[in-house]
Amino acid sequence: DTGVSQNPRHKITKRGQNVTFRCDPISEHNRLYWYRQTLGQGPEFLTYFQNEAQLEKSRLLSDRFSAERPKGSFSTLEIQRTEQGDSAMYLCASSFNPGQGRTEAFFGQGTRLTVV
Amino acid sequence: ILNVEQSPQSLHVQEGDSTNFTCSFPSSNFYALHWYRWETAKSPEALFVMTLNGDEKKKGRISATLNTKEGYSYLYIKGSQPEDSATYLCAFENNAGNMLTFGGGTRLMVKP
């Protein structure tokens, strides 16, 4: 297991189309996060999972966005009816949080979405 | 909304120069401050996770300090090299421990 893997690396889609991204976290990590990064900004939190449970969801995440993590392993992020403002880098990260203390989050290389 | 700010936004230095940048964050509900290094076309890479006021961490030529009472952290790079060129991100973790709130990053460019 070499790290967090995201697919695809790049996606170009027409406005109005649906897109789905996948994230495979480091296998023993129980937490999985999705972030979005636009040009000139730091990553913005979208949502996170503890195992298969989606525990928090940002107000940035409109109804067109949905994320799942079935079986607590890989996760998918779907954007329905894409808009040009959805164009961004979508980053996935995972960490192991044993309940006490904190560990660092490991990031994937991201999926760059361009909506035309 | 938590306010995590980094300055400067970008920095150009010559090879061999030492440099530093700042991350400011809320001083309440603090749990940890993370520093990441993000090179183009790569994943953000964790540099430090700092939890104690007054803590100082070092990795090679890079070091960081933490002041949780006033809500700031400094990242120092001694003798910058072209391979240090990257965006340096800090992230605040509150004591609920749910997520990291990132600053906007400092983009460092080191000229040979």
Could you report the per-residue pLDDT of B9-60, keeping only the tens digit for each? 999 999 999 999 999 999 888 989 999 999 988 899 999 999 999 999 999 9
Query: pLDDT tens digits for A60-100?
Result: 788 999 999 998 899 999 999 999 999 999 999 998 876 65
Give the count of beta carbons closer than 10 Å to the beta carbon of residue A71: 8
Spatial distance between the Cα atoms of B11 and B110, rounded to a whole number of angstroms: 8
Q: What is the pLDDT of residue A80?
A: 97
Name residue B19's beta-bridge partners.
B77
Query: pLDDT tens digits for A2-49?
Result: 799 999 999 999 999 999 999 999 998 999 999 999 988 888 989 989
Give the count of beta carbons closer than 10 Å to the beta carbon of residue B83: 9
Q: What is the pLDDT of residue B97?
A: 67
Name residue A26's beta-bridge partners.
none
Partner residue opposite B93 with nearest CB, options A43, A55, A102: A102
Query: pLDDT tens digits for B62-93?
Result: 999 999 999 999 999 999 999 999 999 999 98
Q: What is the pLDDT of residue A99?
A: 63
Spatial distance between the Cα atoms of B95 and B28, rounded to a whole number of angstroms: 9
- Compute the average pLDDT of residues A92-113: 83
Sign for the CA dihedral angle at B2, B102, B23, B52 comes to: positive
| CB-based contact B104 A91, cutoff 8 Å | no
Which residues of A are less than 8 Å from B6 in CB distance? 42
Spatial distance between the Cα atoms of B81 and B26, rounded to a whole number of angstroms: 32
Sign for the CA dihedral angle at A37, A110, B86, B30 comes to: positive
